[in-house]
C-alpha cells in the first residue's frame, strides 16, 4: 500500500528493504520544505541493501494531500511529526532511524523529543535550526507577500554547491521547477509554520534547550557554507546533541542538498554511522 490516511490527510509512502524486513535498522527518510521523497532517489537502493527503508511525502508535498484551506496552523513541524508518529505505528516500523533534510531534520527532532520510543537515532542533514532571530523574522515577513512561490524559488534556488558533478545542470532546474509546481497557499503556510510559528525549534538560544532534549544519538551533517550563514560551527551542533554516540560532520564545497551532490560519500558516512548503533542504548519513553 502506498497511501495511508493519517490525521485526515492522504500520505504517500513507500516501504522497501530486505525480504521479511529482518535485518538492520529501519530507516525513515524525510525531505525538506517544498520538496518530496524523490529527493532520496540516490539513497534508497544503497540503504535497502541492508535496511528496511520508509520514504514519505510530508502533508501537502509531492503526492500527499494537505489541509484545505492551507494554514500555518496545519503546517507546523509538530503537525508533520504527529503525522509521522501515526505513520510509523500504521506500518509497524518503530523505532526508526530518521534521516531528515532541512525541514525534515526539524520534524525528526520533534519526533525524537515528543515520541522518543519511536526514534532509534536521528541523522540531521543541513538542518535549518541554529539561526539568530533577525534573519528568521525577515524570512517570515517575505513569505507574507503576494508571491510566496517566487520568494521560495529565490530563497532555495541556486543554493547547490559549486560542483554538483553530473547533476551540475539538472539539479538547480529540478529544485526550481518543483517549487513552481506547488500550491502557493501551501508554500506560504509551510514557511510561515517554520519561520514564524516554530521559532522555539529554530532560533538561538531558545532552540538549544529543545534540541538538547533529544535523548537518541544524533548525526548532524552540515554544509560548511550553511554554518557560516548561521554564525555557528560544528561544535554548536555537537553541544545540542548530548548522547555520547552523537557526532557532527561538516562538509566543505557542497550546498544545501549535499546528499544529492555527493551521494556515495553521504551514503557511506550515514550507513557506517548506523552500523555503529549496534550495542548503543536506545532511548525509552
Q: What is the pLDDT of residues 61-93, one digit of tens each?
A: 999 999 887 666 799 999 999 999 999 999 999
**What's the rounded Cα separation, in Å, for the pair 104 and 73?**
17
Residue 83's closest CA among 75, 73, 72?
A: 75
**116-147: pLDDT as tens digits:** 999 999 999 999 999 999 999 999 998 988 79
Say what the alpha-carbon torsion angle 183, 160, 75, 90 is, to the nearest 10 degrees.
100
Provide the 3-class DSSP secondary structure of residue 43. Answer: helix
Report how far residue 30's alpha carbon sits from residue 49's, in angstroms, rounded to the nearest whole number: 19
215-269, pLDDT tens digit by residue? 999 999 999 999 999 999 999 999 999 999 999 999 999 999 999 999 999 999 9
Summarize pLDDT for 170-209 with one digit per residue, the tens.
Answer: 888 899 999 999 999 999 999 999 998 889 999 999 999 9
* Domains of the chain and any CATH numbers: 3-275 (3.40.50.1820)
pLDDT at 20 over 60: no
Query: How far is 193 from 282, CA to CA, in rounded Å?
Result: 31
Residue with cell 542533514: 125
Amino acid at each position: 500500500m502506498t497511501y495511508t490516511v493519517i490525521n485526515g490527510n492522504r500520505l504517500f509512502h513507500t516501504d522497501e528493504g530486505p525480504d521479511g524486513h529482518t535485518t538492520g535498522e529501519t530507516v525513515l527518510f524525510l525531505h525538506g520544505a517544498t520538496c518530496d521523497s524523490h529527493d532520496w532517489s540516490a539513497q534508497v537502493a544503497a540503504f535497502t541493501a541492508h535496511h528496511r527503508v520508509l520514504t514519505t511525502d510530508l502533508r501537502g508535498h509531492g503526492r500527499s494531500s494537505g489541509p484545505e484551506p492551507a494554514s500555518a496552523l496545519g503546517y507546523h513541524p509538530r503537525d508533520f511529526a504527529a503525522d509521522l508518529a501515526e505513520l510509523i505505528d500504521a506500518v509497524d516500523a518503530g523505532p526508526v532511524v530518521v534521516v531528515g533534510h532541512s525541514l525534515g531534520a526539524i520534524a525528526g527532532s520533534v519526533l525524537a523529543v515528543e515520541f522518543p520510543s519511536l526514534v532509534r537515532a536521528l541523522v540531521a542533514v543541513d538542518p535549518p535550526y541554529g539561526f539568530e532571530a533577525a534573519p528568521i523574522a525577515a524570512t517570515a515577513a517575505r513569505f507574507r507577500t503576494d508571491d510566496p512561490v517566487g520568494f521560495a524559488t529565490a530563497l532555495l534556488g541556486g543554493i547547490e554547491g559549486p560542483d554538483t558533478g553530473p547533476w551540475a545542470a539538472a539539479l538547480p532546474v529540478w529544485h526550481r521547477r518543483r517549487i513552481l509546481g506547488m500550491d502557493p497557499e501551501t508554500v506560504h503556510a509551510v514557511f510561515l509554520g517554520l519561520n514564524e510559528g516554530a521559532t522555539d525549534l529554530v532560533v538561538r538560544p531558545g532552540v538549544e534547550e529543545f534540541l538538547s532534549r533529544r535523548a537518541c544519538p544524533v548525526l548532524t551533517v552540515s554544509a560548511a557554507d550553511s554554518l557560516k550563514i548561521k554564525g555557528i560551527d560544528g561544535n554548536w551542533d555537537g553541544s545540542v546533541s548530548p548522547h555520547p554516540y552523537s557526532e557532527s560532520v561538516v562538509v566543505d564545497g557542497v550546498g544545501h542538498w549535499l546528499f544529492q551532490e555527493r551521494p556515495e560519500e553521504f551514503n557511506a558516512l550515514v550507513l557506517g554511522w548506523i552500523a555503529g548503533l549496534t550495542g548503543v542504548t536506545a532511548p525509552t519513553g
